[in-house]
C-alpha cells in the first residue's frame, strides 16, 4: 500500500495461531507494468500486486503493477511427493501438501514436484459470485434516481444504521481533522509521491502547422464534475481517497464529489477527510454502496451530478492478491510486510510467496510474519487469508519463468 503504519512494538503470535494447517487496489490494469524500486533491496525480490496477479487456469493475464523490493512472512514448508489433488470449493482441485518441515500459516510446495495441471490449480484465482447482485442493486439505483436525497438517507439507515440529516458536506466548510503527527506526515509523503507521478502524465497541448495558415491542435480538457468512491466496509481506505482525488485535482476538475460510508455517529472518517481536503475534493457524500454510486451518477437535490457517462474502472473490485518472489538476499521484514499488507484486506485475499534458490531462512520469515501479524488491528483477516495462501520453492529464477510467466 501507499502508507506504512507506525508500530511501536512487535509481539509474537500465540502458538495456537501458528498451528493452522491450511492457511493480493486498486490499481488500474496496465499494458506495461509500472516498476518502483527501493535502492536497498531492488536486486533481491520482486513484488507483483493487484487483482490481476493470476490469470485463469490458463495462466497469468496481466499485472497491474510491479514493485521491486524485499518482503517476507511465515508459512509451512512442505515437500510434495504424491500427486493427489484436494478439492477446494473456491479454487477447484489443488495439489495436496505433505510433510511440514517448518510450522507456519501457509501451505508450501516444491515447484519441481508439480505437474502442469497442479501449477494451474494453484494459479486459479479466488472468485466472487455476482449473479445475485444485479437484482439487488437495480431497484436501489432506480429508487435513488427518482427520490434523490430521501432514498439515499433511507438506504444509509437500512444498511449502515446511521440516520443522516444531510447527505452532502461542503469540504471547505469542514474544520481540519486532528491527526497524529506521524500519520499526517505519512499522508503528506504519499500525496507528494502520487502527485509527482500523475503530474507527469498530464497531456501537453500540441500544435502542428500542416500547411501554411492551417494549424491543428490537440487539447485535453478536464471533466467538469467527477464522482469518486472510497469504500468503507471492514476498513477505511484513505489511500484510495488520495489515489482517486489527486489525478482529478491535477486534471483541474471543478467539482470533485467523494462518496464514503459515514461513521456510526454520522461523521466522516478523519483520515479520509484529511486526504480529501489535501487533494482538492469539493464535496463529500456520506453514503456508500449502490445508493452512493447512483447519487453521483444521476445527481440528487444536494449531490452534484457526475459529468462522465462512462464508469472508468477496469473491473469490479475483487479479492486482493499479491505474488512475492524472493531469494536469500530478501529481507524477512520486508517480505512479511508486503504479504500482510494484502492479506489483511479480507478473508478472501490470497498471497503467494515464491522462493528462488537455496539459503532462504524460512524460520526467520515465519517468525517475522507472526510478529507483524500480531500487531495488526486486522490480523484476524490476515490469518484467514493465509488459510488459502501458499509458498512455492523453486531451484532458481529460471525455473519460475515458465509456470509463473505471462501467458495468453
- The CA–CA distances, whole Å, from 283 to 22, 107, 189, 190, 395 equal 45, 46, 24, 22, 54
Choose the most confident range, by mean pLDDT, from 55-64, 91-100, 143-152.
143-152
Interaxial angle between packed helices 379-386 and 332-343, expressed in degrees from 0 to 180 and rounded to the nearest 10: 90
* pLDDT band of 401, cuts 50, 70, 90: confident
Same topology between domain 15-128+316-401 and domain 135-175+220-298: yes
Choose the most confident range, by mean pLDDT, from 106-115, 247-256, 335-344, 352-361.
247-256
Domain boundaries, the chain: 15-128+316-401, 135-175+220-298
Question: Beta strand 92-95 with 85-88: parallel, antiparallel or unpaired?
Answer: antiparallel
For residue 246, what is the enclosing H or E element?
Answer: helix 238-251
| Residue 334: alpha-carbon gap to chain centroid | 18
Q: Residue 320: what pLDDT?
A: 84
C-alpha cell at 351: 498471497
Q: What is d(CA 104, CA 272) in angstroms, rounded to the nearest whole number?
A: 35
Choose the most confident range, by mean pLDDT, from 188-202, 307-321, 351-365, 377-391.
188-202
Q: In the predicted model, is pLDDT for residue 339 greater than 60? A: yes
- Long-range Cβ pairs for the range 194-199 (8 Å, 24+): 194/2, 194/242, 194/243, 194/246, 195/246, 195/249, 195/250, 198/246, 198/247, 198/250, 199/250
| Arithmetic mean of pLDDT over the chain | 75
**Over residues 45-56, mean pLDDT:** 27
Q: What is the DSSP string of 120-139?
A: HHHHPPP----TTHHHHHHH
Q: Residue 62: what pLDDT?
A: 27
CB 232 within 8 A of CB 260: yes
Q: Residue-wise over 249-280: b if at least 16 C-beta within 10 A, else e?
A: bbbebebbbbbbbbbeeeebbbbbbbbbbbbe
Sign of the torsion angle spanned by Cα atoms 339, 340, 345, 348 = positive
| Residue (of 322, 389, 406, 395) closest to 114 by Cα position | 395
| 108 strand-pairing partners | 391
Interval 141-174: pLDDT, tens: 999 999 999 999 999 999 999 999 999 999 999 9
Interval 229-257: pLDDT, tens: 999 877 788 999 999 999 999 999 999 99
Q: Residue 387: what pLDDT?
A: 80
CATH superfamily membership of 135-175+220-298: Nitrogenase molybdenum iron protein domain (3.40.50.1980)
CATH superfamily membership of 15-128+316-401: Nitrogenase molybdenum iron protein domain (3.40.50.1980)
For residue 374, what is the enclosing H or E element?
Answer: helix 362-375
Amino acid at each position: 500500500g501507499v502508507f506504512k503504519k507506525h508500530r511501536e512494538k512487535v509481539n509474537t503470535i500465540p502458538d495456537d495461531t501458528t498451528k493452522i494447517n491450511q492457511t493480493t487496489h486498486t490499481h488500474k490494469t496496465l499494458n506495461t507494468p509500472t516498476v518502483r524500486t527501493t535502492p536497498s533491496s531492488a536486486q533481491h525480490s520482486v513484488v507483483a500486486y493487484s487483482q490481476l496477479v493470476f490469470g485463469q487456469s490458463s495462466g497469468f493475464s496481466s499485472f497491474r503493477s510491479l514493485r521491486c523490493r524485499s518482503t517476507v512472512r511465515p508459512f509451512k514448508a512442505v515437500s510434495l511427493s504424491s500427486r493427489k489433488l484436494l478439492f477446494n470449493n473456491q479454487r477447484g482441485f489443488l495439489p495436496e501438501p505433505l510433510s511440514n518441515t517448518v510450522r507456519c500459516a501457509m501451505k508450501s510446495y516444491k515447484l519441481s514436484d508439480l505437474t502442469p495441471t497442479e501449477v494451474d490449480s494453484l494459479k486459479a484465482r479466488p472468485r466472487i459470485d455476482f449473479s445475485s447482485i444485479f437484482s439487488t442493486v437495480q431497484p436501489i439505483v432506480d429508487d435513488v434516481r427518482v427520490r434523490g436525497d430521501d432514498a439515499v438517507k433511507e438506504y444509509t439507515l437500512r444498511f449502515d444504521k446511521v440516520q443522516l440529516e444531510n447527505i452532502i458536506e461542503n469540504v471547505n466548510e469542514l474544520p481540519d481533522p486532528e491527526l497524529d503527527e506521524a500519520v499526517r506526515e505519512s499522508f503528506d509523503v504519499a500525496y507528494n509521491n502520487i502527485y509527482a507521478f500523475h503530474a507527469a502524465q498530464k497531456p501537453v497541448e500540441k500544435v502542428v502547422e500542416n500547411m501554411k495558415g492551417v494549424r491543428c491542435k490537440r487539447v485535453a480538457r478536464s471533466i467538469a464534475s467527477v464522482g469518486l468512491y472510497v469504500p468503507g466496509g471492514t476498513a477505511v481506505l484513505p489511500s484510495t481517497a488520495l489515489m482517486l482525488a489527486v489525478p482529478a485535482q491535477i486534471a483541474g476538475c471543478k467539482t470533485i464529489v467523494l462518496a464514503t460510508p459515514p461513521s456510526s455517529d454520522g461523521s466522516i472518517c478523519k483520515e479520509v477527510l484529511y486526504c480529501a481536503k489535501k487533494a482538492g475534493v469539493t464535496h463529500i457524500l456520506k453514503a456508500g454502496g449502490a445508493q452512493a454510486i447512483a447519487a453521483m451518477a444521476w445527481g440528487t437535490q444536494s449531490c452534484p451530478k457526475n459529468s462522465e457517462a462512462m464508469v472508468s474502472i477496469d473491473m469490479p473490485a475483487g479479492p486482493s492478491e499479491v505474488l512475492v518472489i524472493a531469494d536469500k538476499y530478501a529481507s524477512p521484514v520486508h517480505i512479511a510486510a508486503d504479504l500482510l499488507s494484502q492479506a489483511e484486506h479480507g478473508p478472501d485475499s490470497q498471497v503467494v510467496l515464491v522462493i528462488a534458490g537455496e539459503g532462504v531462512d524460512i524460520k526467520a520469515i515465519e517468525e517475522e510474519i507472526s510478529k507483524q501479524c500480531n500487531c495488526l488491528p486486522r490480523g484476524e483477516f490476515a490469518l484467514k487469508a493465509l488459510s488459502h495462501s501458499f509458498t512455492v520453492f523453486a531451484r532458481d529464477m529460471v525455473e519460475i519463468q515458465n509456470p509463473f510467466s505471462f501467458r495468453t
